[in-house]
Every structure is written in structure tokens, then in C-alpha cells.
């Protein structure tokens, strides 16, 4: 609602409309008003129990049940000083301003009748039907229905809470802009979103946080166990509707949940659907579009990622000796453009990676496009590798139960005999299914016309000191410890919010 503007012409005199008792004289220019005082200046009406008028200064000092009103806005105080020349009302012993359906209370403040701007200090609280805001100080612009809050600001609404050092709030749109150690706590979830800058647009169901943003989301399973998902990025966005909420992290995304850690350019997290999608950011990854883990269908075919030639090899001349033979740009890969997930002893990478939960427990990891799983062996430079257009890890009880590699599947396995290195085996197929018992491979099944049951075996004499030559075409290894250290180093510190000073309840 637009409020009426005040005239900006010559200063209007402050006139007495009523008082039970009037005491004064022309020489002093001071008039004492006692009982049911009513003073008027233009459309500004002033009421009080007592008033002292200084005619030459065009000033009134009011005490007892002070009420200064203009259309749409009213100031209440126990004592106030009103300057008729500047149209400025000042209250130093507490005041309340009513503006439409909003109420603002503070320890002290001023209200400018010309600009319809109020300033508050010593602790301030604003309430309206949308919620409550508390801060150390504030300004309120009545015509714009906009408020600026400073110092340990705390916002409480039906959707949750926001705290920050500074907050701008637009009452008509409910939009909030916050800066400085921002903390958002959504209602109904054990979660926290932090950063240095926030824009919140409730009517659009949209929130964006920048400046070292971090999401902490805590899940509690039926058995009482708790898992925490931590996501950091350059930008974190939230989309909310009546159906669900989705978090979107972009640029230098890092994630941790239990024993799972990841880096990517983009992540989509849908808590209610228990889905987390990781992508390169080149084509936006929408987690809900990834095929279900129950599907056995093969992903769209891409060119062969296998290094297997399809013929027996009896010498090293037939092997690709490039230690860095990756179709991906190595620099973009190592800096996190392509998603990488570490789980248990495995490193997974691909065009998109989808992590699914069931009843708050990790259920599967689904890798699509140029998919690779690698595990570092005890012996230096030895990595077991599995590739395909689609890799699916089924997990139960925080343990891998089955791995499927679909579409142009290939593997390189460094075998051991009695705990000692014993060469390399390479296999290819259209589909590999590997079953695990107690975290160890129990059986391997191969399917499709590309299947080579016998595989290719290289004795240890052809492997030792040549381990880097046994790499699948899309192999790339990023040391987990180094990546995790970088992850921890980039986690922003917990915000330090200054306390709200003396804000009224």
C-alpha cells in the first residue's frame, strides 16, 4: 500500500488543537500544555499527556502516552521531542512505530515525517504477519515498505530463519538480501546453509548464497544413526516448491557424506528424493533425469573407451605406453570439472555421477558416460580398473554388494599370488557383473558378443617397472588424501554472528 507523501513547501506552524490546561506568556515564547494535549501540523497529529511548546524554535517536547501520527504511520513513546521545522520526531526512552500491519519497537529512534524514514538504535524488533526480525539497529522506509537492519540480524519466518550481520527486507515481496556471516536454517530439516551473501525470494521459492557457501544437511535413519552431507561451492542455490526442495551447487563443488567424498563442477541435491547428482557443468546435471538404479538398460553408446585390442598380446610393443592417455583434458579433470567420487578404496569418474540413498542410507552410485572405477593396489603404480559407458555400484550396509559395467566394458586387474604381485589380466565384454561378499569380489560374470572369457594375461616379468603402461584409455588418478585435504582446507569457517543488543521481544 502506497502511503501519502508530505508537502515539501514552507514550514507549517505547530498549532494547539486542545489541552485541558495551557500555561505560558508571549515574552518567554514557552507554553506548557497539560492534559489530553492535541497538537497539529498539516496532516501530522500529535497527542500526549503533557507538552512544552517552544514557539520560536517551532519545537514541542512531549511526555506521557505520546502519539505522533500521519496517514498510515503512527509513533508511540513515553517521551518524544518533535521539531516542527524538520518534521523530525525523536524518542530516546523507547518507541513503537506502527506502519500498516507492521510493528517496529526499539530502545530509541527518530521518525522523519517528510521522508517517512525512521531510524532505530539500541536494539530493534519488527513484526508483521510474515514473521519477526531482530537487530541492533535499523532504518525503515515507510513509502517503500523497506527495512535495513544492522548488527546480528535474526529473521524468523514460517519457512525458517536467517541470521546475518546486515539484512535488507522488502515487505511487499518478502524478499531478503543478507550479507556477512549468513546462516540459513530451513524449517523442518536438520540443515544449515551458510555463506557471506544471500538473496532470498520466497514468492519464487528461490535462494542463492555466495561467498564460501556451505550446506550441512543431517539425516537420521530409522535405527538412529546420523549421516551428515556437507557441500561447498562457489555458489549454492535452493529451489523450493510444495512438492520438494532442491539444492544446486556450481563451480568447484566439493562434497562429503560419511565415507563418500566428491568433487565436481555442479551438484544437484534433492533431500526428499534422496538423490544427489554430480556433473561437469558442461551440460547441466539434473539428478532426477538419471536412469533408475533398477534399470539394466545400457546408456547411450559413446566411442569405445577400452584399450583392449581383441587379440592376444605376447609383447609390450602392442601396448599403449602412454601413461596419461585420457580423452579428457587433464587440467580440467584434475581441477574438478569432471566429477570424481571416492568411496571405500574406489575412485569413480564419468560424465555424470548419481548417488542415491534409501531410508537415509547409501544405496547406489551410478556413473554414466566415459565411466571409470579404479582402486589403488598396495604396490606402487598399480591400479585395478573397470570402465564402461555405465557403471552401477549397489551398496547395502555401507558395503559394496554388486558392481555392473554396461556398454563397451573393459577391465585391467593386477593379480596377486600369495600376497605377491603376479601379473595383469585384461578383459572386455558388453556387460560385467561383479558380486561382492564382505567387501571382496566373489564372482565375475561376462555377457555380450564382445566377451573374451579367457582375457589377456601378462606375466609379472612383463609388468614390473612397466605398470604405467597398463592403463585403460580414460584412466586418470587423483590422490584421495590430497583431494580431501584440499576439501577440508576450503571448508569455510563457522560464521561468527554478533549478538543482538537489547532488542525488544
Q: Which three cell numbers stand for residue 356?
A: 542415491
Q: What is the pLDDT of residues 326-335, one digit of tens each?
A: 344 544 444 4
> Residue 455's pLDDT is what?
76
> Cα dihedral sign for 233, 234, 238, 239?
negative
Domains annotated on the chain, with CATH: 16-120 (2.60.450.10), 256-490 (2.60.450.10)
| CA 36 centroid distance within chain | 55
Burial category of 117 from C-beta neighbours within 10 Å (exposed 0-12, middle 13-18, buried 19 and up): middle
pTM across the whole model? 0.76
Q: Give the E-state strand segments of 187-329 in sequence order.
A: 191-201, 206-210, 214-220, 226-232, 235-240, 245-257, 260-270, 275-279
Q: What is the mean pLDDT of residues 385-395?
A: 93
Residue 493 has what pLDDT?
60
Neighbour-count burial of 130, counting CB atoms closer than 10 A to its CB (0-12 exposed, 13-18 middle, 19+ buried): middle
Q: What percent of the chain is predicted at pLDDT more than 90?
A: 50
Query: What pLDDT is stored for residue 500 in this prediction?
Result: 56
- The rounded distance, in Å, linking the Cα atoms of 256 and 198 is 23
> Once rounded to an integer, what is the mean pLDDT over residues 110-139?
94
Tens of pLDDT, residue by residue over 340-389, are: 999 888 899 999 999 999 888 889 999 999 899 998 888 888 999 999 99
For residue 55, pLDDT beyond 60: yes
Contact 33, 64 (CB under 8 A): no
Residues 67-85 pLDDT 10s: 999 998 999 999 999 998 8
Distance of CA 312 to the CA centre of its chain: 53
What gap in Å lies between CA 277 and CA 244, rounded to an integer? Answer: 16
Yes or no: say if 373 and 350 are a contact pair by the CB < 8 Å rule: no
Residue 505 clears pLDDT 80, i.e. is over it: no
400-420 pLDDT, tens digit per residue, is 899 999 988 999 999 888 889
Residue 487 — pLDDT band, cuts 50, 70, 90?
A: low
Query: How many Cα atoms are found within 13 Å in the side-chain-facing hemisphere of 216?
Result: 12
The pLDDT mean for the chain works out to 81
Dig out the grid coordinates for 463 from the structure: 609388468
Give pLDDT tens digits for 160-184. 899 999 999 999 988 999 999 999 9
Q: Which three cell numbers stand for residue 313?
A: 598380446
Instruction: Report d(CA 367, CA 372) in Å as an integer.
Output: 8
- Mean per-residue pLDDT, 141-156: 94
Q: How far apart are CA 183 and CA 193, in angstroms?
A: 6
CB 427 within 8 A of CB 388: no
Contact between residue 249 and residue 215 where contact means Cβ atoms under 8 Å apart: yes
Q: How far apart are the first and last CA of the chain?
A: 26
Amino acid at each position: 500500500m502506497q502511503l501519502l507523501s508530505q508537502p515539501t513547501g514552507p514550514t507549517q506552524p505547530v498549532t494547539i488543537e486542545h489541552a485541558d490546561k495551557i500555561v505560558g506568556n508571549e515574552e518567554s515564547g514557552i507554553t506548557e500544555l497539560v492534559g489530553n494535549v492535541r497538537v497539529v501540523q498539516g496532516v501530522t497529529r500529535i497527542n500526549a499527556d503533557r507538552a512544552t511548546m517552544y514557539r520560536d524554535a517551532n519545537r514541542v517536547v512531549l511526555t506521557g502516552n505520546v502519539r505522533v501520527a500521519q496517514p498510515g504511520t503512527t509513533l508511540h513513546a513515553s517521551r518524544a521531542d518533535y521539531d516542527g521545522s524538520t518534521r523530525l520526531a525523536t524518542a530516546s526512552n523507547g518507541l513503537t512505530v506502527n506502519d500498516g500491519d507492521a510493528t517496529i519497537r526499539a530502545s530509541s529512534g527518530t521518525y522523519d515525517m517528510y521522508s517517512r524514514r525512521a531510524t532505530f538504535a539500541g536494539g530493534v524488533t519488527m513484526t508483521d504477519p510474515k514473521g519477526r526480525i531482530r537487530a541492533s539497529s535499523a532504518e525503515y522506509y515507510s513509502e517503500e515498505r523497506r527495512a535495513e537492519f544492522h548488527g546480528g540480524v535474526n529473521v524468523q519466518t514460517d519457512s525458517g530463519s536467517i541470521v546475518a550481520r546486515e539484512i535488507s527486507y522488502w515487505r511487499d515481496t518478502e524478499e531478503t538480501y543478507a550479507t556477512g556471516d549468513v546462516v540459513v536454517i530451513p524449517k523442518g530439516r536438520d540443515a544449515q546453509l551458510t555463506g557471506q551473501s544471500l538473496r532470498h525470494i520466497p514468492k519464487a521459492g528461490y535462494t542463492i548464497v555466495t561467498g564460501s557457501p556451505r550446506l550441512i544437511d543431517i539425516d537420521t535413519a530409522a535405527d538412529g544413526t546420523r549421516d551428515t552431507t556437507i557441500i561447498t561451492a562457489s555458489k549454492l542455490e535452493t529451489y523450493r516448491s510444495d512438492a520438494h526442495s532442491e539444492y544446486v551447487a556450481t563451480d568447484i563443488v566439493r562434497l562429503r557424506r560419511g565415507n563418500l567424498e566428491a568433487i565436481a563442477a555442479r551438484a544437484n541435491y534433492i533431500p526428499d528424493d534422496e538423490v544427489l547428482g554430480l556433473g561437469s557443468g558442461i551440460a547441466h546435471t539434473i539428478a532426477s533425469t538419471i536412469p533408475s538404479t533398477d534399470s539394466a538398460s545400457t546408456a547411450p553408446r559413446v566411442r569405445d573407451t577400452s584399450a583392449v585390442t581383441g587379440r592376444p598380446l605376447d609383447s609390450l610393443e602392442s601396448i599403449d605406453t602412454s601413461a596419461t592417455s585420457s580423452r579428457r583434458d587433464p587440467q580440467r579433470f584434475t581441477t574438478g570439472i569432471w566429477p570424481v567420487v571416492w568411496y571405500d578404496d574406489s575412485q569413480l569418474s564419468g560424465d555424470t555421477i548419481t548417488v542415491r540413498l534409501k531410508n537415509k542410507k547409501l544405496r547406489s552410485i551410478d556413473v554414466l558416460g566415459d565411466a571409470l572405477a579404479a582402486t589403488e593396489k598396495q604396490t606402487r603404480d598399480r591400479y585395478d580398473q573397470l570402465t564402461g559407458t555405465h557403471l552401477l555400484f549397489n551398496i547395502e550396509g555401507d558395503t559394496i554388494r554388486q558392481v555392473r559395467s554396461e556398454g563397451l566394458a573393459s577391465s585391467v586387474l593386477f593379480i596377486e599370488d600369495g600376497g605377491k604381485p603376479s601379473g595383469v589380466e585384461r578383459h572386455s565384454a558388453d556387460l560385467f557383473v561383479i558380486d561382492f561378499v564382505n567387501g571382496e569380489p566373489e564372482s565375475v560374470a561376462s555377457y555380450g558378443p564382445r566377451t573374451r572369457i579367457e582375457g589377456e594375461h601378462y606375466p609379472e616379468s612383463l609388468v614390473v617397472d612397466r605398470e604405467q603402461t597398463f592403463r585403460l584409455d580414460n584412466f586418470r588418478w587423483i590422490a584421495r588424501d590430497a583431494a580431501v585435504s584440499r576439501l577440508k582446507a576450503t571448508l569455510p569457517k563457522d560464521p561468527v554472528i554478533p549478538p543482538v543488543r537489547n532488542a525488544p521481544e
